[in-house]
Amino acid sequence: MTREKFKGLFDYLDSALQKEKCNDDHTLTIWFLNLIGVQNEGEVVGWLIDKNGYCDCEVLANVEDQFEN
């Protein structure tokens, strides 16, 4: 997945999580990955978990910072 697609994911999660509560899973992340046509969503979610993104809100809180460089 490209850096731009990850930034799109973070923007989407930021917006979506202002409207609804995190379900302590990756529902929103998987929805976005499917929307943009990512074929290896399981690998992407696994990578996010490895980076402390254990659910949608933690993807935003813990993984987004790693893309600020």
- Please report, for the chain, the start and end positions of each structural domain, with discontinuous segments joined by +: 3-67
- What backbone torsions phi and psi does residue 2 show, to the nearest 5 degrees? -80, 160
Backbone φ and ψ for 5, nearest 5 degrees, come out as: -65, -40
CB atoms within 10 A of CB 54: 14
pTM above 0.75, yes or no: yes
9-31 per-position pLDDT tens digit:
999 999 999 999 999 999 999 99
Confidence of residue 67 (pLDDT cuts 50, 70, 90): confident
30 C-beta neighbours (distance < 10 Å), count: 16
